[in-house]
């Protein structure tokens, strides 16, 4: 069992998640920015929510999955989802740079894993 988060049940507590989506950071913005015309909302959002101070564009996105590492990243409620590049926001404590990796944990296995090719298996760090 790869244990997607939909299977986080007391009966399965002893099992660990075994499948994650890894994707690179394409752009690391010094602050959360919105497109021209509504850019002022980005500064307002960062002032309102400390976890929306920085913006990170990742390769791909819009999966039925949640960002789990580094901790504290989330999709922006102000910036739409995209399957090409997705914007994640964070406090900046993540200190992500271009080419760093973000890991997602699928909520479902069947719906998510079919979107990808071969699965790379790592055990003991290899």
Average pLDDT, the chain: 83
Q: What is the pTM of this model?
A: 0.83
Higher pLDDT, 67 or 117: 67
Nearest one of 126, 115, 93 to 21, comparing CA atoms: 115
CA 90 – CA 38 distance, rounded (Å): 20
Residue 67 is inside which H or E element, if any? strand 65-69
* Strand (E) or helix (H) holding 85: strand 85-90
How big is the chain by its Cα radius of gyration, in Å? 16
- pLDDT tens digits, residue range 69-84? 999 998 877 677 788 8
How do residues 11-49 score in pLDDT, each as one tens digit? 999 999 988 999 999 999 887 766 665 555 655 555 556
């Amino acid at each position: 069992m790869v244990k997607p988060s939909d299977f986080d049940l007391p009966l399965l507590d002893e099992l660990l998640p075994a499948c994650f989506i890894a994707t690179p950071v394409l752009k690391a913005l010094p602050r959360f920015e919105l497109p021209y015309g509504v850019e002022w909302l980005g500064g307002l959002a960062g002032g309102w929510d400390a976890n929306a101070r920085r913006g990170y564009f990742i390769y791909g996105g819009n999966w039925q999955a949640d960002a789990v590492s580094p901790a504290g990243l989330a999709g922006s409620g102000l910036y739409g989802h995209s399957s090409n590049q997705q914007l994640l926001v964070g406090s900046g404590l993540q200190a992500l740079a271009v080419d760093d990796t973000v890991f997602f944990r699928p909520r479902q296995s069947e719906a998510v894993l079919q979107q990808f090719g071969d699965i790379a298996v790592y055990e003991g760090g290899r």
